Structure 1
């Protein structure tokens, strides 16, 4: 009987979601990309880089040995974007802030991301409420998967204030479990 009870409890733990605690209803994002180092000619090695947004519009770049951004400008790196995931920001006394990431993108010429005839401007919009979306220079929404076929560099990031004046911090909510989690982006 003890084995049956233990098996039943174990099975229930697989079905029932576990609540991890309180989080802000505001969203943060992780953008996963593979970036090339301009020191490599021809078939450049791609290095994984993750851009993470946080409270008050902070943006952090994480890469192997922190090579991304070391003593160079972001224009030195051409990146292919793999995916975007959203998460709930921690419950704190700060508001999440909307962020835009302006990209200069190209399709590779002769297999080299740095040889190009023209670059298009694309913008990743990262709202704290709703879903992330991509726009072109005209402001038209385009499919996020476009970024998987372009080499882009981060030209500029901007953090915006919330739209409501003197907006208070939203009340904390229970963190959604992995079972009900949001699917990855593109």
Structure 2
């Protein structure tokens, strides 16, 4: 019995050390996830994460946090892809991006993509606010008989590529004002 106890202790210690070593290793799929993210292959990274889950393996905490950010970035992009301002929700997109845990900042390409996307969201929000202000200004210009200036301001606003994202209601109002300024409703 005295000889068995040291053997059991040695085996237990070896198992614990082995478990610690295995837990510290990163699987090949996790390495693939990181490499995919570094290249901007976010869909591939998500597929590799699904493979890890399917195999019943656990991801390291670092990789799990990275995948969370990839999923949130994808959700924000999906919301943006709804197209028109009326269908997408910039507030929702901002909230999704705010949920990101910051893992993306460790990867230059991912960081650049997220920051560029945030700038686009901010730009669309700013442009939408300018549109609301423009409606008020154009209305005043028309009331003052400044039809050419009203048309010029509307045309200038519409020439921006962000115009396609604006809500139909805003587009409709500007269309009506443009027609009014052109003398079509007089």
Q: TM-score, normalised by structure 2?
A: 0.25
Identify the structure with the greater strand proportion: 1
More helix by share: 2
Larger RCO (CA under 8 A, 6+ residues apart): 1
Q: Please report the TM-score for the alignment, with normalisation by the length of structure 1.
A: 0.25
